[in-house]
């Protein structure tokens, strides 16, 4: 098995989490099933999905396909999913939604359960429900996504368990230093979604020049840069050759000068939809705010 894809990061509860994984945002069911099976057959360990993506059932079937074809077991996979905004609130509400997710994924536990968004007036109650799910062993670790300093501070004031992860948008164009520094100070591991910036940076001259000097691709440079910033990364690709490429980033290192050059690309501009998101207190109304699945990560 590819050693590059084995656990590399120890979370604050002692759990080991792979530093490179596969994201499956916005992929159709048949494509998702195949990409998950291909990834696991080629040594991937970390899979990242969510109820909002609408493809948890395909992730579950892709895992079963890989188990049947390779002999791998559920215990060899690090599976992440996320609490859907429409399921946030009381323990009963969160629990009911999560049980449906486990059924779709064909498993009785997840390795990491994340809160997909800090929905106003609900995220503390949702976190309390997730703490109970963690206590009963159905999640080996719990964390959050898209929390800024204000909301993370509030969560920590009310939480019994410190989140293991905060998954945020992070790539050479957006660094979010305030929340990154805050989480690092509190022992919360950062994880990057959209680490390749939706491909916007693959033809950036600075990155192309650095890639040429290392005989690597621009995508590998971007992922290596994030790794050297101590983040976990979950790039999405449906192509097996690119999955292999994304994993092949541990045989070289960027110099401090190269990292500074890439750092200089920061514009702190979120994905085009991000700042339009409403921190709605109505869990049933979230999908009316974010109606386009392409605009939700």
* CA angle (115 as vertex; 294, 39 as ends), nearest 5: 60
Residue tagged active-site, from 53, 84, 123, 134: 53
Alpha helix segments (H runs only) across the chain? 29-41, 56-70, 91-105, 123-135, 149-158, 177-185, 205-214, 218-228, 240-247, 256-263, 286-289
Q: Which of 36, 93, 87 is nearest to 64 (CA)?
A: 36
Burial of 11 by CB count in 10 Å (0-12 exposed, 13-18 middle, 19+ buried)? buried
How is residue 94 written in tokens?
């969160």
91 is catalytic: no
Residue listed under structure tokens 């605009």: 295
269-276 contact pairs (CB < 8 A, 24+): 269/173, 269/174, 270/169, 270/174, 271/169, 271/194, 271/198, 271/297, 274/169
CB atoms within 10 A of CB 20: 26
Tell me phi and psi for residue 32, to 5 degrees.
-60, -45
Residue 214 labelled as part of a binding site: no
Cite the annotated binding site by residue number: 116
Could you give the residue numbers annotated as active site?
53
Cite the annotated binding site for substrate by residue number: 116
């Amino acid at each position: 098995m590819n050693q590059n894809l084995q656990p590399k990061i120890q979370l604050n509860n002692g759990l080991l989490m792979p530093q490179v994984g596969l994201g499956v945002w916005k992929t159709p069911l048949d494509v998702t099933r195949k990409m998950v099976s291909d990834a696991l057959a080629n040594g991937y360990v970390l899979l990242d999905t969510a109820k909002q993506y609408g493809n948890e059932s395909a992730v579950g079937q892709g895992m079963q396909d890989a188990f049947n074809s390779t002999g791998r077991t559920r215990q060899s996979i690090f599976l992440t999913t996320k609490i859907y905004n429409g399921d946030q609130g009381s323990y009963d509400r969160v629990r009911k939604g999560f049980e449906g997710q486990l059924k779709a994924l064909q498993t009785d536990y997840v390795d990491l359960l994340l809160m997909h968004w800090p929905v106003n007036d609900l995220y503390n109650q949702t976190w309390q429900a997730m703490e109970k799910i963690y206590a009963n062993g159905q999640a080996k670790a719990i964390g959050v996504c898209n929390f800024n300093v204000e909301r993370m501070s509030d969560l920590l004031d009310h939480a019994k368990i410190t989140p293991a992860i905060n998954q945020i948008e992070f790539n050479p164009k957006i660094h979010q230093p305030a929340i990154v520094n805050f989480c690092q100070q509190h022992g919360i591991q950062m994880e990057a979604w959209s680490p390749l910036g939706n491909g916007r940076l693959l033809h950036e001259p600075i990155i192309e020049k650095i890639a040429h000097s290392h005989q690597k691709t621009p995508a590998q440079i971007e992922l290596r840069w994030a790794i050297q910033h101590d983040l976990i990364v979950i790039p999405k690709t449906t192509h097996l050759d690119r999955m292999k490429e994304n994993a092949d980033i541990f045989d070289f290192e960027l110099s401090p000068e190269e990292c500074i050059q890439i750092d200089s690309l920061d514009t702190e501009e979120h994905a085009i939809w991000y700042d339009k998101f409403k921190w709605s207190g109505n869990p049933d109304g979230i999908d009316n705010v974010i109606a386009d699945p392409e605009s939700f990560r």
